[in-house]
Structures are given as C-alpha cells and as structure tokens.
A and B are shown apart, each in its own frame.
Chain A
C-alpha cells in the first residue's frame, strides 16, 4: 500500500526564489488498485512520484510505502518499489538481459531466483528476440519493455509508472497497458501518470488531479464524474484546473 501524508517539496531557484513543486499532497493507493495521477506538464506529478520512489526527499510530510517511511527507510522503500519514468534510461553498453540481471542483483536476488525471474519476465514481455542485444541498439518499444522488466525483476508489490507509453507505437503501448493491468490483477499497488485519457479510463480505479503542486481533486472515476457532472475525463480536468488557470492569469 502507498500512503502519501502531506507530501511537500520546495526547491530554491536563484531567479525565481522558492518554488513549491509539491504542496501538502495526500492520497492512498491500495494493493490491486491503480491510482492515476493527472495534471499538466510541470504540475508536480513527477516530483511527487520521485518522492514516493525516494529519489527525492520530501521537504515536509512523508509517505508510507509497504509499511516503510520514505524519509526514514528509503532503501527499504526502494526494495519494494518498481519505478519507471521518462528519465529512467537504460545503460547503453549493457545488453537487455545484463541490465535486468544487474538490477535483480542490486535487489538482492540470488542467482537461481534471478535466472528464473529473468526468463519469466522475458517470456511474459516477449523480449527473447533481443535479450542479447545491447540497449543502445534497441528500438524505443524494446527499450521500454526492458525498462519495465528492470522495474519488475524483484517482483515489487508497488509499481510507479510515470508516462510509460510516451513515444511508443500503438502495439507496444497496448502491450504495456495490458501488462500494467496484469500487474493490478496480481495484487500490486500501482501509481500511474499519463496524459492519455483513454489509458486512464482503461486502467485507473482512482484519480488524483494535481495542479501547481496541490492535489485539486481525488476520487474514483465514477465519483469524479458525479461530482463534476461530466463523463469525459478531459473535461473533468478542465473543470478542476480551468478556474485556477483563469485566477492565476488574472
């Protein structure tokens, strides 16, 4: 389970002064559920996800991931999380298999377990055709599959996906969406960020809309539809964020 408790992150910029990238964000994601974090570029989604993955430390607040505090026990949290974002690239001079094995070893898997896990993931993601190929020679889709294999190798109970289908062709994107859905069926707690509303509708059980670092709306898809009297998710986001945009422009 993931429980964000008043997560905040402030950065200092020489020109702009203090920037509140994330401001007092709280939400919960249960095992077997997918929480969709939505918002415009620069809204604070990636910073929130980075704090949950303990790559960044919160300035205030905290989060509990599988019973571990992100501030107090970051290494234990990371052992329970698979994190994939647009900024998590692959090592170009390793093969797909070497890369996945490397992360398996860093997660403490012994060699027999690691071999079994790698074979299993490569079969599930249909990656056997390029397992010996260096990552710098892979197509975008192959790279994304390798990244997913990397996040899954230690079978973490929590998965964090930050725009996992960006730049992918339809077939690969579809395979990845199906895979994320399978992860939910296997009882994993998943946080998912995207700009593609069809993916949100297909995957997310719960949605949080973030704007300028603040969580502006939080609920199940049906709850949000009822609250904003709107079926289309895009329109819901506009209804949540639109008035705030007008205020800030004024």
Chain B
C-alpha cells in the first residue's frame, strides 16, 4: 500500500464530491436543514393546534335526556360545554365534525340516582380526532363534578362527613425531572440515528465512485494508471467513509439544535417543551460514534462492493435501496423493550452496536460487551474491505456488460 497514492485518490475524490451539487444537497443541506425545519415547523404547528383545540368550547348533544332534567341542567350549566338541540343524525354530526360529542343519558337516570342499581351514561366521540377527544374529556369532567356534588349532597343530608367516601388520599411524586425522563427516551434513538445515517450517507458516494465511474467511462482511465487496485479502493473507501460520517455528524448536530430550539421555544408549554430537552453529554455522543465507527467502515466497504457490481447508476440504486431495510430492521429491533445484550447478540452486526449505544446513552458501560462488539464489528469491517479490494481485482466485475 502506498499512502501517497491513497491520499492522492482521496483528495481527488473529495474535490469531485464537493463539486457535485447532488452530493451537497443529500449529504450537507438535507441533514442540516431537514431536522430543524421539520422539528420546529411540526412542533410549532402542533402547539398552535393543541392550544386552539383546548380553548374551543365543544358543541355537545344530549341524547335521550328528556326525563333527566337534573343532569341535563348540570351539563347545560357547564362553562366548558355548548349544548346543542337534539337531532336524530347525531352520529353523522360527530363524524362530520358538526358537533364534537354526544352524551347518551339512559331513560329514568335522575330517578335511578336514588336506587341501588346505577345506570351508565355513555359518551360518544370520534377517537383520533383531537377536538372530539377534548370534548369527551370535558363531558367526563362535568359528569364527575355532577357525581361528586350528588354524593356530597347525600352525605350532608345524612349528616355524614365527606371523608366517608375518601378516607385517605394518594399523591404520586416523580423524583426524576420531567426533561430527564423524556430526554432519556429520545436519547435512546441516538445510536439508531447514527447507524442509519452512517448507512444512508454512504449510499450516494458509493454508487458515484463505482457504478458512476463505469457509466461515465472513467473506470478504464484510472485502471490504466500505475495505481494499485488496493490504493484505488482505499482512496475511494476513505471518501465514502468521510461522507458517511459527515452525514451522521451533521445530522446529529442538526438534530441536537432542533431539539434545543423546540425545547426552548416560547410557543411550547413548559411540560411539552421538557420532552425535547435532551440531556446527552458530549462524551456519550463521542462514545456512540466510536462504537458506530467499525459499522460505518463495514457499510462503506459493503456498499462499494455491491455498487461496483452494477453496470449503471440505476442498477446500483436498485441494489442498494433494499440495504437500508437490512440496517433499519435490526436497529429498530434494538429499541424494543426487553431486547438486552448477551454474548450471542454481541456478535450480530448492527443489532449489537445499536444495543450497546442504547446502553451507553442510558449511562451503562458493559466493558466486556463493548470490547466484544468493537472486536467483532472490526472483523466484519476488515472482511468487507477485503471483499471490496477483491472485487476491484475482478475483470468480470469491472467490465461487466
């Protein structure tokens, strides 16, 4: 191996890569802008929508309340509800968002309050429709308040204290700050994101440097130079690796910035904002990147090898697109609860790295597993690189027609 030649190839590939508008868009602009725009835009929009939904006084229809004037009066008195006259098509009206909910009072409800067989009041709403769900909640609150008043009245009538029905109270106290609880849940995604982005960031340059060269007719040009195939592969490999890591780094910076902006946005309610306040330190982020590095090497070499086999850019794209699923499935599996590291799982590429990253973010460092995973993924990466060099030495692959 000649380091000078590898560096020469790398510099040239980097120059071409940076001059390619498609590269700049896919590797730099999209990761940098997509997250902030999506996150800030979406969360601001959501906050506005939720505020609006919460402030709206929902239109609610009472169904069959004719002989229950007491409950009807209580519902009509509620400031949080706007009671509208009954109509037979109340179900359609809920579906069409003309009214938000319906309260179905069973016949003889008022009379049943004094009996020992309680009747059921039904709340009809449209699940998944935020405003309808808010309306149902308001109706439920009004009914609860009606029940509490009724019980209180009865107790007073019998000279009994309120404490009879609630001899004690309970209170939940969370010792973890809200932002830490939610931050940890989001932080668990860090490893997954780094792995996925290392992969997606490598796809375009891997194709461009192999099938792209074949298509442009420059493969034969470079093969006619005294450069050894090993140096050629290494120069290209380092560029693909750089692209992969820079996509991941830029995306993580962009993600962090987006979460910061959203978490500190005045439009967000404090409890909602806390969800976006990540508490993942720089050492943790660096540890995740260190663990993902051998995997990025494996991705770069595997993608180069596969893309080289293709005759054209299009063919390479059709080979590499399914690769994303191969990476996504184990990475997502690692996020499932109950999936914990063990010696066997530590040997499975992608899954092992994703699992160990999740643990690192949670503050757990199983050094034996970390070493085993680093070692195993480095072996896979070396095998991938070896295979890439071998492929570059095969005429049937280079001149496949």
Chain A residues within CB distance 8 Å of chain B:
50, 53, 55-57, 75-76, 78-79, 81, 83, 85, 87-94, 98, 102-103, 105-108, 134, 150
B8 touches A105 (CB 8 A): yes
Q: Are B399 and A102 in contact (CB-based, < 8 A)?
A: no
A88 nearest in chain B by CB position: B221
B395 touches A53 (CB 8 A): no
Which of chain A's residues have a CB closer than 8 A to the CB of B224?
A: 53, 55, 78, 81, 83, 88
Question: When the two chains form the complex, which single residue of B5, B16, B225 contacts A94, counting CB atoms closer than 8 Å?
Answer: B16
Contact present for B221 and A150 (CB under 8 Å) = yes
Asked whether B220 lies within 8 Å of A55 as measured between CB atoms, the reply is yes
Of the residues B16, B220, B227, contact of A93 by C-beta under 8 Å: B16
Which residues of chain A are within 8 angstroms of B4 by Cβ–Cβ distance? 105
Name the interface residues of B1-59: CB closer than 8 Å to any CB of A.
4-5, 8-9, 12, 15-16, 19-20
Bound-state Cα–Cα, A150 to B12, Å? 15
Bound CA span A103–B12, Å: 10
Given contacts A79-B226, A102-B8, A106-B225, contact A87 B15 (CB under 8 A): no
Chain A contacts of B9 at CB under 8 A?
Answer: 106
Q: Report 29 cross-chain contacts, Cβ distance below 8 Å, ordered by A residue.
A: A50-B220, A55-B224, A56-B399, A75-B228, A78-B224, A78-B225, A79-B226, A81-B224, A83-B224, A88-B217, A88-B221, A89-B218, A89-B220, A89-B221, A90-B218, A90-B221, A91-B12, A92-B216, A93-B15, A93-B20, A94-B12, A94-B15, A94-B16, A102-B12, A105-B8, A106-B225, A106-B226, A106-B227, A150-B221
Instruction: Please name all residues of chain B whose beta carbon is closer than 8 Å to the beta carbon of A134 when the two chains form the complex.
Output: 19
How far apart are the CA atoms of A50 and B20 in the complex, in Å?
30
- Complex alpha-carbon distance, A98 and B8, angstroms: 12
Q: B interface vs A, CB < 8 Å?
A: 4-5, 8-9, 12, 15-16, 19-20, 216-218, 220-221, 223-228, 395, 399
Whole-angstrom distance from the CB of B224 to the nearest CB of chain A? Answer: 4
How far, in whole Å, are A85 and B221 apart by their CA atoms in the complex?
A: 9
Residues A107 and B220 in contact, CB atoms below 8 Å apart: no
How far apart sit A75 and B228, CA to CA, in the bound complex (Å)?
A: 7
Min distance, Cβ A14 to any Cβ of chain B, angstroms:
12
Q: A85-B220, A105-B8 are in contact. Are A91 and B226 (CB under 8 A)?
A: no
Q: Closest A-chain residue to B221, C-beta based? A: A88
Cα separation A92 to B217 with both chains bound (whole Å): 10
Q: Chain A residues near B217 (CB, 8 Å)?
A: 87-89
B19 touches A93 (CB 8 A): yes
Task: Across the interface, name the chain B residue whose C-beta is closest to A102.
Answer: B12
Return A151 CB to nearest CB of chain B, in Å. 8
Query: What residues of chain A lie closer than 8 Å to B226, measured between beta carbons?
Result: 75-76, 78-79, 106-108
CB nearest to B228 among chain A residues: A75
A residues near B395, Cβ cutoff 8 Å: 56-57
Q: How far is the CA of A93 from the CA of B205 in the complex (A)?
A: 14
CB distance from A200 to the nearest CB of B (A): 23
Beyond the given pairs A91-B16, A93-B19, A98-B15, 8 more chain A to chain B contacts, judged by CB atoms under 8 angstroms and listed by A's residue number, are A76-B226, A78-B224, A81-B224, A88-B218, A88-B220, A89-B216, A89-B220, A98-B12
Contact B227 A87 (CB under 8 A): no
A81 to chain B, nearest CB (A): 7
Residues of B within 8 A of A53 (CB): 224
Instruction: Determine the chain B residues whose CB is within 8 A of the CB of A56 once the complex forms.
Output: 395, 399
Chain B residues lying within 8 Å of A91, measured Cβ to Cβ, are 12, 16, 216, 218, 221
With A and B bound together, what is the CA distance between A105 and B226 in angstroms? 10
Pick the most buried of B5, B19, B221: most chain A CB atoms within 10 A of its CB: B221
**Contact (Cβ within 8 A) B223 A103:** no
Bound complex: CA of A81 vs CA of B223, how far in Å?
12
Rounded to whole angstroms, the CA-CA distance of A103 and B4 in the bound complex is 13
The distance in angstroms between the C-alpha atoms of A85 and B225, with both chains bound, is: 13
Instruction: Say whether A103 contacts B16, CB under 8 Å.
Output: no
Q: Given the complex, which residues of B lie within 8 Å of A94, measured CB to CB?
A: 12, 15-16
Q: In whole Å, how far is B52's beta carbon from the nearest beta carbon of chain A?
A: 50
A89-B217, A90-B218, A91-B218 in contact; A55/B223 too (CB < 8 A)?
yes
